[in-house]
Structures are given as C-alpha cells and as structure tokens.
Amino acid sequence: MGLFTGKKGLVFGIANDRSIAWGITQKLHEEGAEMGFTHLPDKDPAHPKMENRLRKLVSGYNPKVILPCDVGNKDHLDAVFNAAKEAYGQIDFMVHSIAYANTEDLKKETIECSREGFLQAMDISVYSLLELTRRAKEILAPGGSIVTLTYLGGEAVIPGYNVMGVCKAALESLLTYLAFELGKHEIRINGISAGPIKTLSASAVGDFDDMLKLYAAMAPMKRNVTQEEVGKSAIYLLSDLASGVTGEVLHVDSGYHIMGAPSAKNMPTAG
C-alpha cells in the first residue's frame, strides 16, 4: 500500500518525458495515486502532437481527465476543474509546474524586457498558481496539498535567467500568502526549488550547459540532481509525511544554494 493509495489529484505542466512534472507523476503513480492531466493546446487539432505525447506517457495510468489547458483561458480552466469534480468529486493534491517567458524577452537583459513580455511571463508563471489554487480550493479535501516549482533565480541573480528570476521571486512570495490563507481550510502549499535539469523550458535559458557544469563543481554533493530526486521530494511535500509543513521552499539542488563561493581548489588562479 503506497502513500497515495486512494488519493486523487491534478498535474499541470507535463510537456514531455524530461519535464520535472513527469518525474513527480511517476513517483506519485508508484505510490498509488490516481491523476488527471492537462497539456498545452495543440495549434492543429487534426494533428494533436501535445495531446498524443501526453497520452503516450500516461497510457498505463488510466486517467479519467486529459484535457488541453491554456492557463490564461477561462474556458479551459472551467473545463478542467469541472471534469475533475465530475470524475473525482474531491481531490487530494495538485502539482503546478508551469512557467513561460517569450524567448526573445528571456534572452534579453532584464532591463530590456518588453512590457508585453513581462506581463505575459508574470501571468503564466505566477498568476496561474493563484488561479489554479483558487479553483482547486473548492474541490481539495481537508489535508490536501499543492506543490509548485521554483528556482534559485528567484532568490539571487542567476545570469541568463533574467525576467524569469523576477517571476520566480513573485511566485515564492505568492506561495507564502496562499499558505496563510489556505491554512484555515486545512490545505497546504509548498514549493520545490530544483537545481538545473535539462527540460524543454531550460533550453531557452542562456548558457544552460555551463550552469550544469557550475552546479556540479560548486555544490557540496559535487553533482547535479535528477528528475527522480525532485519527484521524491514532491512526494514528501504532497503526502501526510509533511502534514505540518506549509509555505516552505524546499531546495533540491545538491546543496548548491548554501554556497557563497566555490571551494578553494575550484577557484580560478591568478594569471
């Protein structure tokens, strides 16, 4: 009997098998969870690439909900949560693994980000958590839990992360306010600040390969983290094992976030 046997939830943010949300989903499935899923809307309904990709991944899970979801589209959100209520009645958890910035704006220095790009990034990466949480609150059972994904670039400057770092800072602040307001409803919400993992969205971040090398060299554990490790940490936060934890950001980054400088042997030498 797994930690999530008899538990039901929604997962937002699986793009492909390299997505952090997919790593979390696999661990939830191993622990007995039943899940509904969303995918990005397909531009050509006659050739539903995003839907087919998701259905292939979760084909063995027998999900009752698989729907397109643009988090900025009220009709999509209504359809997802109405379907979840009809299929499950109540749910026990929700995973929010959604972030987006226009590539052109993301690659610019933050000071050069356009107004439109800034607002879009904030809307999708931050406001979506508020919107999904407000709707999930109506069907989350007491003791329910929400997890969102963040990154160290919301706490400190990570060159190349640019406007997305500002979004993650806002996301982490929003998380604490939501934790306060949800507490009286016996609902918890926490975040995971994962180290760099080669996902589809990470490919848009400048110098990503150099970032992986830096983490491996500088982190106390001298390596990068895996999709599976993030999934295991999500299991803890979503389960009753973390029943007294809310409003937290758990760093899963081999300890990189505690370092202020590389160890002496990794310091550059004077020329």
Residue 175 C-alpha from the chain's centroid: 12
Q: How far is CA 201 from the centre of its chain?
A: 11
Q: Which residues are catalytic?
A: 151, 161
Residue type, 18: R
The mean-pLDDT minimum among 113-122, 161-170, 246-255, 260-269 falls in 260-269
Q: What is the mean pLDDT of residues 14-23?
A: 95
The predicted-structure confidence for 63-92, as pLDDT tens digits, reads as follows 999 999 999 999 999 999 999 999 999 999
Find all residues with CB under 8 Å of 132, minimum gap 6, and list them.
12, 71, 77, 94, 96
pLDDT in tens, 121-177: 999 999 999 999 999 999 999 999 999 999 999 999 998 899 999 999 999 999 999
Please state whether the predicted TM-score (pTM) of the whole model is above 0.85. yes
Q: How far apart are CA 245 and CA 130, in angstroms?
A: 19
Q: What is the pLDDT of residue 262?
A: 83
> Which strands, in side-by-side order, build the sheet including 8-12?
66-68, 34-39, 8-12, 91-96, 140-150, 188-194, 249-252
> pLDDT-derived band of residue 211, with 50, 70 and 90 as boundaries?
confident
What mean pLDDT is reported for the chain?
93
Looking at CATH, the fold of the domain delimited by 8-255 is given as: Rossmann fold (3.40.50)
